[in-house]
Structure 1
Amino acid sequence: MDFIRLLPEGCVSDILSFTSPKDAAISSAISRGFNSAAESDLLWEKFLPEDYEDISSRYVSQRICSSKKELYFSLCDSPVLMDGGRLSFSLDKKTGKKCFMISARELVISWGVDTPWYWEWTSHPDSRFPEVAHLHTVCWLDIRGTIGTQMLSKRTKYVVYLVFKLAEEHHGLEIAYAYVRFVNRVSDEEADEGASTLSLVGENVRRPYVKCPQKRVDGWMEIELGNFINDIGDDEDVQARLMEIKHLHGKGGLIVQGIEFRPE
């Protein structure tokens, strides 16, 4: 006998809410008693972030779904723009943790404002944002993105990535440096000492311990800038920085979509 079917749907939903979204999605294959509960709005609402209503009020356009389960998976598969298109929001499919990408327009880019001979702001057919930043040439490469920890999921380790492409004619991007810091705890100078070395090109890099980019499923490249643990989500700022200001040779051909904060 399938004893699960004898339990009230609310009770079964509570049981499933202590598992993961992935487990809940496949629960109907285990027991028919799980089936209706696994499809219920009561369950999938528990997998959405506690502050989801506040987040959704900041959407550029509202997302209409027929159920909370459909809404959950749509947020996993298709990031939604918010805050006037300066930020995107999505969910990690396995855990339901919050993911955010800061658009290039919202980043602090040295020489990136009103200097089209250095950085050009343009649309890109593969970008989720209206604009990307296209580097023509600079000697001083410095890009920073900051987010408040209260926006992120609590008790979660986050990894921060630069999301980018390379123009066909790129140069000077073989070596750069990056770090992630809590703004009010760690100074720029302290963070510089622990900065990691990376290569945006990732080809023929002969230096040890150099991070290289990986291709994403959306066709962009990403490279890890650093990571941190968001404990209880205190009202703090976390900043990620990519830079190459040690060697003032020319650099060009970098196309920046944004900086993504994603649960590990």
Structure 2
Amino acid sequence: MDQIQVGDSNSGGGNGRKDEIVSRFDTLPEDCISMVISHTSPRDACVVASVSKTVKSAAQSDLVWETFLPPEHSSSLAPRSLNLPSKKAIYMSLADDSVLIDDGKKSFWLEKSSGKKCYMLSAMDLTIIWGDSPAYWQWITVPESKFEKVAELHNVCWFEIRGKISSRMLSKGTHYSVYAVFKRASHRSHGFDHTPVEAEIGFVGKEATKKFVFLEAGGTDPRGGYRYSGVSHGAVSRAFRTGRPWMRFPREEEGESAESGVGRSVEEPKERGDGWSEVELGKIYMSDVGCDDGDEIEIALMETKMGHWKSGLVIQGIEFRPVKEGEIRVTK
């Protein structure tokens, strides 16, 4: 898109140069203009449409927007295509609302400005320990879920959920955040308000990144100990290994810092606009190279050390979303 950028705003004659570039660009055949725009991004295509009528027509063409649509999900998009007038309309529809794939076990949509692929693995697509036993888990239908069934935790002392997704399904060259999406059951959840849950994410066969998260926000331990919010991952991990999870912690132990990545505070859930809550389980980078299509990413969420009973959560699934610009941390 360098051909249609204004150039240095501090240089003299900036507006004249812009008009000259636009004029030259307008002389190209519309298909050529569309081809150039198709190598940018959906956001760029929308912005450049304001340059001129000719460029607008090219930027809104099916030739451009078909390149932003994922070909691997063309069959899933077919029902929407019948009722929408253009490829851009199909794209915008997919950016505004998800579509079910894989026999309804996954949900797929696009990040609007970039066209990056987003997914949610439904509870039906996850491995839930004791999930097939009605005494421990129940499969129910709720109107606010994307999926036919969600998993309601009845009562377990061993809480473990795992999921996998193929790396080829995600957009390469992209940082992803991974979230557990859940809510309380109609009655109050029990056993999660004072206990951190361990989350792991990584490529299968390689070392996973680990962190602790809460599935319930706020509060203190009724036995007098502090909650873990603001406490380092390392401190919580050592407490569990030594069998003293209720000990009092300083907010950051000696030798641990945010720069080292060890002093991260334990993540708490946040409410979403769709009636569910989410908590970030971790991040993973899909590189342009060094990531084979056959690679799988595994996610785990578990609390198996305390041994007390837990109940009252409804699990919708695990969600992969591209990290927004400005939220990507570069660590040394």
Report how far residue 61 of structure 1 moved: 7.0
Report how far residue 79 of structure 1 moved: 0.6
The AA in structure 2 aligned to 1:116 is P
Report how far residue 66 of structure 1 moved: 1.8
Moved more, 4-13 or 206-215: 4-13
Distance 2:77 2:131 in 1: 25
Report how far residue 7 of structure 1 moved: 2.3
Distance 2:298 2:89 in 1: 33
- The alignment yields a C-alpha RMSD, in angstroms, of 1.8
Please state if 1:120 is matched with 2:138: yes
Report sequence identity in percent: 46
Structure 2 spans left out of the alignment, 5+ residues: 1-18, 221-226, 231-264, 324-332
Equivalent residues in 2 for 1:152-231 (5 A)? 152-167=170-185, 168-174=187-193, 175-186=196-207, 191=208, 194-204=209-219, 206-207=227-228, 208=230, 209-231=265-287
Please state if 1:77 is matched with 2:108: no
Report how far residue 214 of structure 1 moved: 1.9
TM-score of the two chains, using structure 2 as the length reference: 0.72
Partner of 1:242: 301
Distance 1:165 1:262 in 2: 19
Aligned length: 253
1:184/1:236 contact within 8 Å kept: no
Runs of 4+ in structure 1 displaced over 3 angstroms?
Answer: none
Report how far residue 133 of structure 1 moved: 0.3
The AA in structure 2 aligned to 1:252 is S
CA deviation string 1:228-259 (max 9, x = no partner): 11124411110111111111111111111111
Distance 1:163 1:31 in 2: 44
Please state if 1:19 is matched with 2:40: yes
The AA in structure 2 aligned to 1:224 is E
Report how far residue 6 of structure 1 moved: 2.5
Higher alpha-carbon Rg: 2
Moved more, 168-177 or 83-92: 168-177
Classify the secondary structure of the residue corresponding to 2:103. Answer: helix
Distance 1:79 1:136 in 2: 29
Partner of 2:124: 105
Instruction: Decide which structure has greater strand share.
Output: 1
1:31/1:217 Cα in 2 relative to 1: closer, same or farther (>3 Å)?
A: farther
Distance 1:185 1:63 in 2: 39
Classify the secondary structure of the residue corresponding to 2:85. Answer: coil
Classify the secondary structure of the residue corresponding to 1:225. Answer: strand
The AA in structure 2 aligned to 1:154 is K
Q: Among 294, 298, 315, which residue is 1:256 paired with?
A: 315
Structure 1 spans left out of the alignment, 5+ residues: none
Report how far residue 142 of structure 1 moved: 0.4
Distance 2:78 2:31 in 1: 32
Distance 1:60 1:68 in 2: 11
Classify the secondary structure of the residue corresponding to 1:169. Answer: coil
1:60/1:82 contact within 8 Å kept: no
Equivalent residues in 2 for 1:117-156 (5 A)? 117-156=135-174
2:38/2:63 contact within 8 Å kept: no
Q: Among 68, 79, 92, which residue is 1:62 paired with?
A: 79
